[in-house]
Chain A
Amino acid sequence: MRARSLTLSRVLSWLVLSWLVLSAAACAQNPAARAPGTYDAPTPAGEPRASLQVTVDLEPASDCDERFDLALYEDRGVELVSWDDGPGCSGRHVAVRYLPGRVKKEALLRRLEKIARKVREG
């Protein structure tokens, strides 16, 4: 009797385990199931912040600052970009608040150089 119940519980364990594995695989394939991780989320208040001031020349376009922002914000180490009031795409002053625990200043500067025509610190 004892041996039989052991076998039953083993079978049940296998079934539960298999179900968990299959569910996880299904979630990995279904974009909707992955959704919770794919949107903007708050950064813990205690996480250290730093700020980088730069002057940039952007790729000229009627929406140049928006294109720059959208490319930069893909990096979750960037918390907030603040622009000067000036118009146009060249010589714009911008302050980038970032999370040094997630992106180092050098890496951030390299990223800025990738998405802007010219970047000068300060």
Chain B
Amino acid sequence: MKTRHGLTAVLVILAALPSAAVVRTALADDEDDDAPQGGEVLSSDQLSKKKREVLLAIPKDETVLINVSKRDMPASPDVLNLGRKSTKAIARCVSDNVDDKLRATCAEMLGRLGDRSALGALQGALEAWDAGVRGAAIGALRKIPDPGNVAPLAKILAREDEEPGNRAAALEALGAQSSGRAVKIVRDALKKPPEALESMRVSAFKGLWKSRHLIDRAELIGDVSYALASTDGALVLAGTFAAGELRAPQLVPALVKLMKNSDTRVRNRAVYALGKIGDTTATRALLEQIPHVRESRMLNNIAFALERLDPRAFYGTARDLVGHKQAQIRMNAAFVLGDVRRPEGLPLLRGALDDKNDMVRLSAVTAIGKLDAKDGEKVLERYVDDPNPSLKRAAIYAIYALSGYKRTDLVWDKLYLVPETKAEAAIALGRANDPRVTQDLLTCLELSQCALGEVEGFMRASKSPDVPGRTLLAWTKGRSDLTDLVATLKPAGAGSLARSEIQASLAHKAILRALKAIDLTGDLSDAQAGELLTSLLVHENTRLRIHAAVALARADDAAGAAALFRDMDNLPQDQLPSFVRLLGRVTEPKGRARMAPELDKRAAGPDAPMAVAAAAVRFTWDPEQGIFRMLAALGGATRVERDLAEKYLLHDERPLVTELLRRALAREGRLPVKDQLRRILDLRADRAAAKRP
């Protein structure tokens, strides 16, 4: 009996052994990345020291990341801080490390660096066993377009065991390569895909759209028509976006059909595109659609489309809508009439003022305030003492806007002197630079009760001696967002405080705060900051070095300018836009003159992100001269160049830039560039409208 029990126990143990081994393996797979590896146990200090040793070795030893484990790998921001000097070591990490997660991380970093010398490693990683590594490499190759990427990316599509996500990403990455061969591949994937790519027509279309500058206009219209006629909802939606940008009248019939699509997004985008195309053949279809609309956004889109296509038809429709049986539609009609801003809307809105529904009346009052109609003021006078506080408030602000912000006494008497509406009224009065609200707005700013944008104009224009001092005091208490305002106001003592702030922030490792203080010393042209700033040119933090170099270069310091361009050449491509913004602070003619030749050299160079960044700085400094290089970039050979130019042009919100873009659009003969200029102007107009009070 005893023997039988013993035998049973042995059998149980033997049976359990394989599962135990599996469990052990599973546990090992789930092992914490920071747990000891190779039997080595390190304290937190030792680990930090080891990571630092690896970090310091990266620029000097290209093999240092081959055998590094995830535990010893320095954090990505620290590696990227080394800039392009780290490319070789990271590329070896992608090629030769055995940890797939690390290889994927390294591939992703290479994409952010944008150094073309890493292309070989990334193309090789497309053959990695691990799908995550291949996915990261595809993403990186998308960011570093090159004709040599096309064949390896095409192989991803053909690979039988490839993940669907990687195939989709490869299609979009192919589109980003600006290659005629890639266009053929993605078009085939759109129109006659093999079974494995059947469900990826949207990615193929997105890829094709990225290559649109290479495609003949008629063919491109055919591609968009194909997308619009598809049964794949996502592809149709992508097609409507493209149609809005392409503005081809040939697409009108397909878009008209889509106004009845079951997907509300498709319906809305179709109407939006019809409005942008501006072809009057769409007018009737739009008018016929109105009685069937059940959503306010669609109604607004139709109204805006009609306003462009046929103003008379628009006002006829608007008349019907302000008298519609549904209050929500009457309210939206009033809203649309206000947004169109034309004086013809006044008689219709005047009628809406007698609506029984408070929300419709409120919408009408607000809308009248937006019109280009002086008579609106008279119409609204009777509401300034309305017992409905919302209506009263809206009427007063509408009159204020119609008066060109001259009726300050009305806002003062009716809203500022009432405790419940005082704070908002103070901000409104600040818009007219009314000195009576100085103390209110300073307190509001200090207590972060109002956004800087709401009061910044007032503070800059104010003649009150309290403003500079109290703004500086708030800045020293940590309000870094006030840096530009302090720089404009130039309060006494700001220079020495900024210097002290740099030192204190560095001692406390408050890097962001130190950067702001450095910028302020540059803005203030603080001659006494030179020594402190020069000492920062060798700091290990690249951003600190660059900010210090810019502050020095503004004072025409040769060492600062030289350091600045050394760092520019080493920067990861995804940090170039913030570099451009920083150099935009340079207003000093001597500093600009010293830097201009270096920038021009880079603007003519072969590295597209670097060239467009350099051109963007010159454009920021002198838009009238710089616009032509930016236009050349918009018509550049690669999509990356075109998209970067668009990004920089969108970012600069000055009215002068809008004018230059309009002039360029009026004279542009290259259709893809014309489309992109139109798109930039539309986006700028949307942003400006969103900022309007």
Contacts and interface: CB of A to CB of B under 8 A. Distances in A.
A73 B340 contact: no
Contact of A62 (B307, B655, B668): B307
B661 to A, nearest CB: 10
Label chain B's interface by main secondary structure: helix
Interface in B602-638: 624-625, 627-628, 631, 635
Contacts of A90: 372
Nearest to A85: B655
Contact of A35 (B304, B343, B670): B670
Contact of A38 (B311, B404, B669): B669
Contacts of A73: 662-663, 665-667
A66 B668 contact: no
A74 B341 CA distance: 26
A72 to B, nearest CB: 8
A101 interface: no
A86 B681 contact: no
Contact of A39 (B341, B631, B662): B631
A87 interface: yes
Given A60-B342, A80-B659, A74 B372 contact: no
A66 B681 contact: yes
A82 B628 contact: no
A51 to B, nearest CB: 14
Nearest to A37: B669
A38 B670 contact: yes
B219 to A, nearest CB: 14
B372 A76 contact: no
A74 B624 contact: no
Contacts of A70: 662, 665-666
B668 A39 contact: yes
B663 A40 contact: yes
B106 interface: no
A4 interface: no
A41 B341 CA distance: 34
A61 B307 contact: yes
A48 interface: no
A63 B343 CA distance: 14
Say which size band chain B's interface belongs to. 20 to 34
Nearest to A60: B342
A42 interface: yes
A69 B670 contact: no
A86 B667 contact: no
Interface string B328-347: 00000000000111111000
A37 B670 CA distance: 10
Contacts of A39: 631, 635, 664, 667-670, 673
B663 A80 contact: yes
Interface in B636-675: 655-656, 659-660, 662-670, 673
B35 interface: no
Interface string B577-602: 00000000000000000000000000
Contact of B341 (A40, A69, A71, A87): A87
A40 B372 contact: no
Contacts of B669: 31, 34-35, 37-39
A24 B120 CA distance: 43
Given A34-B669, A76-B667, A90-B372, A62 B662 contact: no
Contacts of A76: 667
Best-surrounded residue of B339, B340, B664, B667 (most CB of chain A within 10 A): B667
A72 B666 CA distance: 8
A66 B308 CA distance: 13
B372 A69 contact: no
B683 interface: no
Given A39-B669, A69-B659, A86-B404, A80 B342 contact: no
A83 interface: yes
A81 interface: yes
Interface in A38-81: 38-42, 60-63, 66, 69-74, 76, 78, 80-81
A52 B463 CA distance: 33
A38 B668 contact: yes
A40 B664 contact: yes
A35 to B, nearest CB: 6
B13 interface: no
B685 interface: yes
Q: Find the residue from B342, B663, B673, B685 having the highest chain A CB count within 10 A.
A: B663
18 contacts: A38-B667, A38-B669, A38-B670, A39-B667, A42-B625, A60-B343, A66-B685, A69-B662, A70-B662, A70-B665, A73-B662, A73-B663, A73-B665, A74-B666, A80-B624, A80-B663, A81-B662, A87-B372
Interface of B: 304, 307, 311, 339-344, 372, 404, 624-625, 627-628, 631, 635, 655-656, 659-660, 662-670, 673, 681, 685
Given A40-B663, A62-B342, 4 more contacts: A39-B673, A60-B342, A78-B663, A80-B663
Interface of A: 31, 34-35, 37-42, 60-63, 66, 69-74, 76, 78, 80-83, 86-90
